[in-house]
Amino acid sequence: MAEIPPTRASLLVRLRDPQDQAAWTEFIALYGPLVYNYARKQGLQDADAADLGQEVLRAVAGCVGRLEYDPSRGSFRNWLFTVVRRKLSTWRSARGNRVRGSGDPATQQLLEQHPAPAPDEAEWEAEWEDQVFSWACAQVRKDVTDSTWQAFWRTALEGQPTKRVAAELGLTPTAVYLARRRVLARLKALVRSVREP
Amino acid sequence: MTASLDCPGTEGWQSLLDLDLAPDQLSRWERHLQLCPACQDRLDRAAADEEEFRKWARRLGDPTAAPTDPTLIKLLERLKEGKGPPAPVDAADLYFLRPSDRPGVLGTLGGYEVLEVVGQGGMGVVLKAFEPALCRFVAIKVVAAALAGSATARRRFTREAQAAAAVCHEHVVAVHGVSETGGWSG
């Protein structure tokens, strides 16, 4: 249940084994929301973002199977970004053609005067940072009780006094203190495991 | 008092920080930490620097408390149910290719430049290829390495191609040809 999380490189190597369902599950939990949320922020409707996410993740998993993962050629998430960027531009040009065929000229002109923002690497990096945090929290949340999570969140991240939190959760102050430390240590290990050098 | 100050070893610490701990073990830790400033200090150092997480929390709130976008949930389920990553194509499965110097070309097969593997199944592998003579892209299905040696499998492969070639419909792929190269069906 609470093994030390694998490094990115080893997850990508495991992904090459089609039998390794656990590696695939881990992979989509981390990168699925990243691609989906980024696509949404780039202006895609939810269904389109989901289609794009599905296409990108499958394509990437296929590539990992064929290529040796080589961190010296750049980080995995930069590589993923180039795939996302390419699919987004394909999606945009397909939509452009469709709109041109049906819309009235005035509307079309208006649309062309306000082109969609170019996919921005800084936005991708920001989305990644957010996803690292959300993913790590979700992983830990599965392994701890509700009161442990609350004790951690309220004391470590919201700065509430230990005694009050302990009283409200029906825990001893030491238990709250333990929760705060244990959860943070685990979160830090998870974050470290997905951050590439 | 000295007995309760029997500090846990490395393994004890590991289990504590991995969250993988039975409740009775946890109560022992609680009792120990109340009495042992050294261990408290050690735990503080292991989980120092909450600031980065505070910044995240201020910006995003508790991600485990927020409802997840239902379309995203469906996407993740769809991906999970899929058969996982596509099976990697072993170099041995492309035994029939001849090497090519052209960038982006996996190898050649007859007069075709094979560009990528489109799919793979028990019977064979489907390739995307370019036919320079007619300047068009084609799909090539090649019988699997394991079956290529079997005359029966090769006959069946050819019969299947003939049957498909007899059908002309927008939902059925048009068959341009079937042949054997170097003794293998293609």
* pLDDT for residue A8 is more than 90: no
Q: What is the mean pLDDT of the segment spanning B149-163?
A: 79
Residue B180, amino acid: E
A40-75 burial, b for 16+ CB within 10 Å, e for fewer?
A: bbbebebeebbbbbbbbbbbbbbbbbeeebeeeeee
pLDDT attached to residue A3: 43
Q: What is the mean pLDDT of the segment spanning B58-68?
A: 90
CB contact at 8 A, A55 and A6 = no
pLDDT attached to residue A197: 58
Who wins on pLDDT, B82 or B143?
A: B143
* pLDDT for residue A103 is more than 90: no
pLDDT attached to residue A100: 45
ipTM, two decimals: 0.78
Please report which helix (H) or strand (E) contains residue B139, including its range. strand B136-143
Residue A113, amino acid: Q
Q: What is the mean pLDDT of chain A?
A: 81
Q: What is the mean pLDDT of the segment spanning A74-79?
A: 78
pLDDT attached to residue A183: 94
Least confident of A45-49, A124-128, B33-37, B121-125: B121-125
Q: Which residues touch A96 (CB under 8 Å, ≥6 apart)?
A: none
* pLDDT for residue A115 is more than 60: no
Look at B50 and A157 and tell me if their CB atoms are within 8 Å.
Answer: yes
CB contact at 8 A, A152 and A179 = yes
* CA A69 to chain CA centroid, nearest Å: 20
* pLDDT for residue A163 is more than 90: yes
Percent of chain B with pLDDT over 70: 84
**Highest mean pLDDT pick, A6-15, A178-187, B22-31, B139-148:** A178-187
List the alpha helices (DSSP H) in chain B. 10-17, 23-35, 37-46, 51-60, 70-81, 145-148, 151-165
Phi-psi group of B3: left, alpha or beta (phi > 0 → left; psi -120 to 50 → alpha; rest → beta): alpha
Q: Nearest-5° angle of CA A47, CA A49, CA A50? A: 65
pLDDT attached to residue A5: 46
Candidates B53, B48, B77; CA nearest to A132 is B53
Least confident of A107-121, B151-165, B167-181: A107-121
Look at B47 and A188 and tell me if their CB atoms are within 8 Å.
Answer: yes
Q: Least CB-CB distance to B19: which of A2, A40, A49?
A: A2
Res. B1 pLDDT band, cuts 50 70 90: very low
pLDDT attached to residue B119: 73
Q: Tokens at residue A150, please?
A: 């609350």
| C-alpha torsion angle, residues A83, A88, A91, A97 (rounded to 10) | -130
Residue A156, amino acid: A
Q: What is the mean pLDDT of the segment spanning A39-44?
A: 92
* pLDDT for residue B184 is more than 50: no
Phi-psi group of B89: left, alpha or beta (phi > 0 → left; psi -120 to 50 → alpha; rest → beta): beta
Percent of chain A with pLDDT over 90: 45
Q: What is the mean pLDDT of the segment spanning A101-112?
A: 56
pLDDT attached to residue A66: 59
| Nearest-by-CA chain B residue for A174 | B30
Chain A nearest CA to B29, separation (Å): 9
pLDDT attached to residue A2: 40
* pLDDT for residue A82 is more than 50: yes
Residues of B within an 8 Å Cβ radius of A: 16-20, 26, 29-30, 33-34, 43-44, 46-47, 49-50, 53-54, 56-57, 59-60, 62-64, 69, 71-72, 74-76, 78-80, 82-89
User: Where does chain A show beta strands of DSSP type E?
Assistant: none
Report how many helices (DSSP H) and strands (DSSP E) chain A contains, helices first: 9, 0
CA distance B34 to B127: 67
pLDDT attached to residue B127: 86
| Nearest-by-CA chain A residue for B42 | A181
Q: What is the mean pLDDT of the segment spanning A48-74?
A: 75
* Interface list for A 63-122 with B (CB within 8 A): 64-66
Look at A37 and B72 and tell me if their CB atoms are within 8 Å.
Answer: yes
Residue A99, amino acid: V
Q: What is the mean pLDDT of the segment spanning A47-53?
A: 92
Whole-model pTM: value is 0.65
What is the residue whose two structure tokens read 């170097």? B182
CA distance A120 to A48: 19
Task: State pLDDT tens for residues B72-131.
Answer: 999 999 888 875 555 555 555 677 788 888 877 888 888 888 888 877 665 678 888 988
